[in-house]
């Protein structure tokens, strides 16, 4: 009788052990997901689950990937090569990855994410003339624009919010990794001919959405300032070429022109420019 009891106990122990292995394997199988990179350009692979970690590689549009969802808007690649933003990953069933717990998704579902990119910064002053530095002017305009948009319910990310140098690669990576809906780079012009003046806006060649954005902001600038309308133009600037969302670059005036410079140095003018940029987003 004792032998039968021991045999029965051993049997149940083996069954339990085998069940644990199966359950463990099922958990790992469920945790791993397969998806596809859904971007217009490359998707950064980073050493950790945030944009503060360095870029260690890239994935190409349409590339198949296997990953585990961290539940914070980031996924770890199963091959151990790094982490990716799940905003640009689509599951094989055609459904986007569930990113409801991502830290930047705690906003209304229809709320757009806007990246504001004050040009230059730190060691790069940009255009300098008439006692003005481009990097200072555009940072102030960027902050004012951010405040207006946030008050209107938009979620805003600035590529810099202080006088620091940020590379062009870092600027575009921030926008792509964050999954921005629009990218607006803010600049002030400078030219050897001091007579050159006015406002102008650039968009990526062939981008219908970019052209629409450029026309909107240019119209707002012209209507709300007394600056010369220089128009909108196609140009493959780095920051509007390497961003995966509609993007524009706004030139808010010439620091090299005495009249424009007097306006750019005025806080009231910078507020007007900020309102024009923000209204172009709000009005769509």
Q: Which residues form the catalytic set?
A: 251
The DSSP result for 31-89, as a single string, is HEEEEEE--SS-EEEESSSSTTSPEEEEE-TT-EEEEEE-SSSEEEETTSS-EEEGGGE
Residue 204, phi then psi, degrees to nearest 5: -70, 135
Tokens 């607006």 correspond to: 184
Expressed in angstroms, the distance from the first to the final Cα of the chain is: 83
Q: Could you tell me the two tokens for 34? A: 């397969």
Question: What is d(CA 187, CA 176) in angstroms, rounded to the nearest whole number?
Answer: 20
The interaxial angle of helices 208-224 and 267-283, nearest 10 deg, is 140
């Amino acid at each position: 009788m004792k032998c039968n009891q021991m045999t029965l106990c051993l049997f149940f122990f083996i069954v339990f052990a085998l069940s644990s292995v199966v359950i463990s394997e099922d958990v790992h199988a469920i945790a791993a997901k397969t998806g596809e990179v859904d971007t217009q350009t490359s998707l950064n692979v980073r050493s950790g689950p945030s944009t503060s970690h360095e870029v260690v590689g890239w994935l190409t549009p349409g590339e198949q990937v296997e990953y585990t969802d961290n539940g914070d808007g980031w996924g770890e690649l199963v091959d151990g090569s790094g982490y990716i933003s799940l905003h640009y990953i689509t599951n094989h069933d055609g459904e986007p990855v569930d990113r409801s717990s991502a830290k930047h998704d705690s906003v209304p579902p229809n709320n757009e994410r806007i990246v504001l990119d004050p040009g230059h910064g730190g060691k790069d002053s940009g255009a300098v003339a008439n006692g003005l530095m481009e990097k200072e002017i555009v940072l102030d305009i960027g902050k004012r624009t951010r405040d207006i948009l946030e008050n209107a319910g938009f979620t805003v990310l600035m590529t810099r919010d202080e006088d620091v140098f940020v590379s062009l690669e870092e600027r575009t990576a921030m926008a792509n990794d964050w999954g921005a809906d629009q990218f607006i780079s803010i600049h002030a012009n400078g030219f050897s001919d001091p007579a050159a003046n006015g406002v102008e806006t650039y968009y990526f060649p062939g981008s219908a959405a970019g052209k629409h954005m450029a026309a909107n902001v240019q119209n707002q600038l012209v209507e709300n300032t007394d600056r010369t309308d220089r128009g909108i133009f196609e140009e493959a600037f780095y920051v509007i070429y390497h961003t995966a969302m509609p993007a524009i670059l706004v030139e808010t005036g010439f620091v090299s022109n005495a009249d424009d410079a007097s306006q750019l140095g005025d806080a009231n003018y910078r507020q007007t420019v900020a309102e024009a940029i923000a209204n172009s987003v709000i009005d769509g």
